[in-house]
Structure 1
């Protein structure tokens, strides 16, 4: 069955619409507020890890939160939905663009306008804040858009998302409160948690197996199969956290290390449930095991406050 036939079979339509103006609620759905939490949380971890008082710099903190969540993350979601409109017609035909509630040109216009807004706001955060914003914007388009479309790679795609969701916001939060380059310890933790997020993003790919196969998106669940991909994702999530625990001991933070060990043990228990049926359990794990992961991020951030 060809791609167009797959789309028509799943949606009962060709994906074309005569609508000129988008539905307001669908525009909000396009930028997916539920996805803003990871970068906002990572940004807060960065502000905490800097050692500075966030309340003393609250205007910059609020600007950074808006940039990390609604603007940059929202832009990346709109760009991804526009670039993935044919894939979504198979995987999730109810999404704003394939359903026709947001005409495709509007989806592109929103993504481009928010790209410009992100860069403009990023300039207000100083050289490090702007640099991180620029990298996040470039990564978002490289992930979704041709000719790069790095989401076709099960290695580079989740890695880029992990970097943009956890690493760059953390670095940005630390940089704007440090008024300069973050400390090496901060960069180390941001990099480790961004690496671990690769596994989280791999689990997120399980929901798109059918459409990814039809459109040649070589996610790890497609190339390795659900069972092997889930095992690899678990190791990718766990090993960076073990490295963080080792760093906590090296930096004389035994109580923080103990808390991280307990959170990793809880994740290991959830991983056992996940591996029984990875395709069915991946959404469950993203709602439970990931909570322990992000809690560990904040604990590690507090451990850094006294190291400056």
Structure 2
């Protein structure tokens, strides 16, 4: 049986998508308030788990179960183009799943539990019979949690070797909610194929203008709550910086909303950058709170 070229495998695993969970993992490490001294091997293993393993697994599984949709939307992708032949896409997704679980088990029970939960979400997002991605409400929620909340939790848990502080969990959850809007941005490019294959993404369900407005609202509201929480926790400088980053996003959103389908990728490269910078600022704001205790 023909084997895929290494370059096709790398393309299947989509390294560009690894940044979001790796960044969220780093935010978790920072927010734990624990010193990194002596922990660098564990941190490196956690970054590997968040991006090149768990996230890459989700990409491989998604491409395998989306091969018919990609034949319409992106026929040059490795599977529909034949550069990953036969059932190699499925075998790679299964192998990466097993490797992810092995690495997570080495890092400890909290990490193994989080990785297992994330991998289950990754598979039911793409695979029948549940195939959460058939509906944008459920599918985007699963991906947002896998990309932001779970890696943040994992980073904090790795450093604390225990369940993270409740404030860390709350802020991670809020940024996961906001990431639902970011996931909606990714759906604009595939509207035609989604319609033909019966995938009910939010741009398909709501129309591009309503979906764009909803995405902006969902991205902005959790950040308003984060600003309020940081203010209540007397982290005024951090709250102010997150507020300025949000104002920058709102200005960019106004431009995006004038032509959502054409500018979704542009906003992903500009407004989303400000969003993730706010995540890091919030993570630093949590450090003294975690160290000081309830």
Q: Give the structure 1 partner of residue 121 of structure 2.
A: 139
Q: Does 1:290 align with 2:272?
A: yes
CA contact (8 A) 1:245 1:261 kept: yes
CA contact (8 A) 1:82 1:104 kept: no
Q: Give the structure 2 partner of residue 87 of structure 1.
A: 69
Q: Give the structure 2 partner of residue 15 of structure 1.
A: none
Q: Distance in 1 between matches of 2:128 and 2:148?
A: 24
| Alpha-carbon displacement from aligned partner over 1:184-234 (angstroms, at most 9, x marks no partner) | 000001100001000000010111101100111000000100000000000
Which of residues 283, 293, 300 is equivalent to 2:282? Answer: 300
Q: Give the structure 2 partner of residue 239 of structure 1.
A: 221
Q: Does 1:26 align with 2:8?
A: yes
Q: Give the structure 1 partner of residue 57 of structure 2.
A: 75
Q: Give the structure 2 partner of residue 172 of structure 1.
A: 154
Q: Give the TM-score of the pair, scaled to structure 1.
A: 0.93
Which of residues 244, 249, 260 is equivalent to 1:267? Answer: 249
Q: Give the structure 1 partner of residue 260 of structure 2.
A: 278
Superposition RMSD in Å: 0.8
Q: Distance in 2 between matches of 1:55 and 1:84?
A: 43
Q: How many residues align?
A: 290
Which of residues 208, 230, 237 is equivalent to 1:248? Answer: 230
Which of residues 166, 172, 176 is equivalent to 1:184? Answer: 166
| Alpha-carbon displacement from aligned partner over 1:134-188 (angstroms, at most 9, x marks no partner) | 0110000010000010001111111100000000000000001011000000000
The verdict on how the C-alpha distance between 1:82 and 1:104 changes in structure 2, with shifts beyond 3 A counting, is farther
Q: Distance in 1 between matches of 2:37 and 2:190?
A: 41
Q: Give the structure 2 partner of residue 8 of structure 1.
A: none
Q: CA deviation at 1:20?
A: 1.4
Q: Distance in 1 between matches of 2:86 and 2:219?
A: 36
Q: CA deviation at 1:37?
A: 0.2
Q: What residue ranges of structure 1 are gaps of 5+ in the alignment?
A: 1-18
Q: CA deviation at 1:23?
A: 1.9
Q: CA deviation at 1:21?
A: 1.5
